[in-house]
Amino acid sequence: MGDRGNVILKYNDGNKIYLYTHWDGSALRQTLREALERGRDRWDDEPYIARIIFSEMIKNDIDGNTGYGISPYMGDGGMDINVDLKAKKVGSLSFEEFVSKSRVKA
């Protein structure tokens, strides 16, 4: 069981990092929106925005030993979200469009 998901970060050089959650897959899109909104001033800085995204994912379980991971390959399937850091896109949406969607629904 679980509520798995991955945020797949594609870097400028084509490499990818996978940020995994075992329990929060269904909330992953909203978590990513909140991270991108908070990290707006770091959209051009791949290492920083990656850290901001992962920090948002783990903020309620900072000391946990399970539930989240970082790897060069995909964790268990579930909600998978592709983030192109060079193009500043989440799927086919620009970061701005993706973040704006949360404002409309709120």
pLDDT tens column, 26-62: 999 999 999 999 999 999 999 999 999 999 999 999 9
pTM summary value: 0.93
What sign does the CA torsion over 39, 44, 47, 53 have?
Answer: positive
Instruction: Tell which wins on pLDDT, 91 or 104.
Output: 91
